[in-house]
Structure 1
Amino acid sequence: MKIFRLVILACLLSPFLSQAQTSGNPIFPGWYADPEAIVFGKTYWVYPTYSAKYKEQVFMDAFSSKDLITWKKHPRIIDTASIKWANKAMWAPSITEKDGKYYLFFGANDIQSDKEIGGIGVAVADKPEGPFKDLLGKPLIDKFHNKAQPIDQFVFKDKDGQYYLIYGGWSHCNIAKLNKDFTGFETFADGSTFKEITPEGYTEGPFMFMKDGKYYFMWSEGGWTGPDYFVAYAVADSPMGPFKRVGRILTQDPEIAKGAGHHSVIHNAKKDEWYIVYHRRPITEKDGNHRVTCIDLMTFDKNGLINPVKITKEGVKKSKL
């Protein structure tokens, strides 16, 4: 009888045990988009946009995990109460650690011209879960440079220790050298501050990482509210480019989800495993804001080019740092 009961218990638990073997997609509940994934110490972190109407996008949550399977929610790490100049459309966070402080870059207000208040801001905290406070009391970038809307910021640390801010909407992308305390920018050798590095097909959502001495520059193409949203990339020898488009590596699967895009990449260096973290829209949803955050494996061919990513319902296997 005891053996029989154990068999029954195993049968009842088997669906849950099997589910725990992978992350599943989405990796946490709720409408979240534009995820910035990063590793701090032995912990994976994801900082997404709260996907709702612009007037409701007045805060951000964060999520952490030790193994990519179980995620802990850290609510309201930043909100408009601490960012006085922001009143809507807080989105596309990007974060970095420097000298024991955590700096969160974000867009706010979705400005359409230089006459409006808003753009790209930066906040600081002592811990990756915040709370984050406004560093400047005003936007870091509040104007259009090279026709790039000041949104979708990504902070990139080069091998020489220089931090860059790569950003831009409206099909234009700029790169700028952050100064040492992230309160402004340094100029390039030619005296300019914002250099355009827009590759062919670029819409928004830039991301950069290094592998084997090469700079992989990635971005999103198409419209974020529609089904045709993609991630493409280029490879160069410098963060300044020139970037020649290689092709798309993340596309929708009509059997699984639509609108796969606005991503980031994380690397488990110990296991040399690469992951792409992105948002997509379930095929059951028609609301443009109904986006969820997902993760899938990202691999490379023998020449270092990124293989097309297969979006899945299962997600990825457990992976500790």
Structure 2
Amino acid sequence: MPNPYLPRWEYIPDGEPRVFGNRVYIYGSHDNAGSDKFCDYRLKVWSAPVDNLNNWTCHGVAFCTRTDGENKSDTPWTEGELYAPDVVEKDGKYYLYAYIFYAKGCVAVSDRPEGPFQLLSQYKVPENSPKVLSEAVFVDPGVLVDDDGRVYIYCGYQGSYMTEIDSSNMYEIISGSFIPDIIPTDSPHDFFEACSLRKIGNTYYLIYSPKIGSRLAYATSASPRGPFEYRGVIIDNGVDYPGGNNHGSICEINGQWYIFYHRTTNGTVMSRRDCVERIEIEPDGTIKQVEMTSLGFEKSLSPYEIIPADLACVLKGGCFITEKNIFSRVITNITTGCIIGYKYFDFGEDFISKTMEFNISINGMGCKSKLRILIDDYENGLEIGSVDIGSDSGVYMGAVKNVTGRHAVYFIVQDRYEGYFTDMFKGRNLFEITSFVFSK
């Protein structure tokens, strides 16, 4: 599946990927299209077979912090929104660690990784604990069940901490195990939020969101208690794309490592969809920063299949993806100078044709404009053609140069107003893109 890899009407941010048995599960918050606040109160669980990442199944609402129709509240002490949960397996049971906004968090349990999860307990902390523990909120909990069976939880917002959980009950904090600032807030670590812990070999990887930009960074240690050495950025979803926060983790699926993260949509940082990119873990344990693409779990996309506009991974100049209804997601707010990009297409090795046909479906805005089509780079790439866009909705076609091999594709937008009145139309929404396709 390309990005976003779940059905495109689904809004799952803060994704924690976990492989249990022969399936990969994604646990995250639940946003809504065009929302004015982060997250609602539902945990919706999705999973796919590890050998078929194009076949995602929704298991429905597995835990709820507010009654909603047939979904009854699992947290009688609060109706706060459910943020950034995590799930781990211990002795054949699956434990959900919930952060509830402005309320005490909790642990729930299930016999199945997809749930439903039944409330086990609120977090229990020792008396006379530091305030950040005694409040028992546990912001953005990332949980590790270590090889020796000991259990650790990593949390924090604008400051991190970790502590050990009693593995006999999975919700009680062990006295004396609290460690503040497990990831420092000063440079180069710059911790902000979104702890997620993974163990690879004998190395502990703590993935988190720094306080600068829209990035996921990581630090490593030889011990679950640290100290953690800053290692670098894995992905920055604000590069050539509307920024926002970021939250996710790494996961190995069928021998391939991935970074799961989310992107903003609908012109708000509070409407996010989960995405994924391939990563490589080098022999020395480092993870090189990867770019944001349209690929998801795919190695390349076909330009000869109809491409929905919202697979774009480059949006510059103020344009953004918006959902009009469950069937329709377009790129809107397209003005002169906007850049829209997709990475990567495999055009094949056909040297016979000199040209290709390019078709694009648009919603007209009563304006005339021009769409230049470049490959490989939006500043210095090869321009393979252009299409004149009219004022009405419809499909517009142009002949473009035939290309072969694997390329990024960029659209550069220009209006077609000339003369004295040109400046009057700057900033005007020229059209919306719904989809496009190349053909030979």
Provide, for residues 227-247 of structure 1, a one-character-per-residue CA deviation record: whole Å limited to 9, x for no partner: x22111111110111112122
Alpha-carbon distance change, 260 to 26 in structure 1, aligned in 2, over 3 angstroms: farther
- Mapped pair 1:309 → 2:290: yes
5+ residue gaps, structure 2: 66-72, 300-440
What corresponds to 2:5 in structure 1? 27
Letter in 1 for 2:112: K
1:156 to 136, 141, 144: 144
**How far is the alpha carbon of 1:173 from its aligned partner?**
2.5
Distance change (3 Å), C-alpha of 1:100 and 1:317: same
Select the residue among 186, 196, 199 that pairs with 1:207.
Answer: 196
Higher relative contact order (CA 8 A, sep 6+): 1
RMSD between aligned residues: 2.5
Matched, 1:167 2:155: yes
Deviation at residue 209 of structure 1 after TM alignment: 1.4
Question: Partner residue of 2:206?
Answer: 217
* CA distances 1:115-162 after superposition (whole Å, capped 9, x unpaired): xxx2321111121221111102x3446952399962100110112121
1:170-181 alignment, distance < 5 Å: 170-181=158-169
Letter of the aligned partner of 2:293 in structure 1? T
Question: Structure 2 CA distance, aligned partners of 1:79 and 1:276?
Answer: 27
Q: Distance in 2 between matches of 1:171 and 1:101?
A: 31
Q: What are the ranges of 5 or more consecutive residues in structure 1 without an aligned counterpart?
A: 1-22, 112-117
| CA–CA separation in structure 2 for the residues paired with 1:56 and 1:212 | 34
The equivalences for 1:248-287 within 5 A come to: 248-256=233-241, 258-259=243-244, 261-268=246-253, 271-282=254-265, 285-287=266-268
Select which of 83, 92, 96 maps to 1:91. 83
- Equivalent residues of 2:46, 2:56 under 8 A apart: yes
Identity of aligned residues (%): 28
Secondary structure, counterpart of 1:203 in structure 2: strand
Does residue 37 of structure 1 match 2:17?
yes
Asked if structure 2 preserves the Cα contact closer than 8 Å seen for 1:256 and 1:312, the reply is no
Greater strand percent: which structure?
2
Indicate the structure (1 or 2) with the bigger Cα radius of gyration: 2
Residue 270 of structure 2 corresponds to 289
User: Taking structure 1 as the reference length, what is the TM-score of the superposition?
Assistant: 0.79
Give the aligned partner of residue 48 of structure 2.
65
SS state of the match for residue 269, structure 2? coil
SS in structure 1 of the partner of residue 13 of structure 2: strand
Query: CA distance change for structure 1 residues 154 and 54 in 2, over 3 Å: closer, same or farther?
Result: same
Alignment length (residue pairs): 276
CA distance in 1, matches of 2:39, 2:23: 29
Whether contact under 8 Å (2:29, 2:39) holds in the other structure is no
TM-score in terms of structure 2 length: 0.58
Shift of 1:90: 0.5
Q: Secondary structure at the match of 1:289?
A: strand
- 2 CA distance for matches of 1:33 and 1:172? 20
How far apart, CA to CA, are the structure 2 residues paired with 1:144 and 1:128?
29
Q: Does 1:298 align with 2:266?
A: no
Mapping 1:124-163, distance limit 5 Å: 124-136=109-121, 138-140=122-124, 144-145=132-133, 150-163=138-151
